[in-house]
Amino acid sequence: MKVYTKRGDDGTTGLLYGGRVDKDDLRTTAYGTVDETCSALGLARAELTDDPQRRDLHDLVLRVQRELFVVGAQLATLTEHWEQLTVGVSRVDDQMVDALDGLIDDSVSRHPLPQYFVVPGGTRAAAALDLARTICRRAERHVVALRRADGLPDDAALRYLNRCADLLYVLAREAEGDHLPSRDGV
């Protein structure tokens, strides 16, 4: 199998379960930005790999990466094909969103949040998580635009991305541990 198909040379791309759209279409931009989030999380996970004390964070980041594939698959499908999607595989549901709430609460209970604005970069892993968080927020904005254009029959993917960015924020603080810069930057 070859990586290149040449079908995209005209500036279009194929969607899951059929259809083609421009490469700068709202749908393509949304799922492409979700893919960027997943890649940035790969950087964070790589930074957590060699730290046995952060194995739980490593595994959690991998879980989020896999769930982002579900979000991406849903966004890469025209709404007329959504009946072919499978919850947890290619379609986000309320349980996936609710599970993120629990993960956020668990992280905050392990590592309470600072009560001031945090400048990213306490550790390399935390910086990568913060980068992924900002990309996730951009993906969320693109999904809002897609929804506004009637490109989504429900808002589960949007709610997932909103909660995912919140999770990435608390995980970044947890990854910083005691390396969180003080409020005055010292």
For 105-151, write each residue's pLDDT tens digit. Answer: 999 999 988 888 888 999 999 999 999 999 999 999 999 999 999 99
* Angstrom distance (rounded) from CA 160 to CA 99: 10
CB 158 within 8 Å of CB 144: yes
Model confidence pLDDT, tens digit, residues 26-71: 999 999 999 999 999 999 999 998 777 788 999 999 999 999 999 9
**What does each C-alpha distance from 169 to 15, 54, 55, 58, 124 come to in angstroms?**
31, 16, 18, 15, 14
20, 113, 178 from 173: Cα distances, Å? 41, 7, 9
Provide the phi-psi class of 178: left if phi over 0, else alpha when psi is between -120 and 50, else beta.
alpha
Longest distance between any two alpha carbons in the chain, whole Å: 55
Mean pLDDT (the chain, rounded): 92
Model pTM?
A: 0.92
The domains of the chain are located at 15-179
**Domain over 15-179 is classified CATH 1.20.1200.10:** yes
Q: Phi/psi of residue 111, each to 5°?
A: -145, 90
What percentage of the chain reaches a pLDDT higher than 90? 79
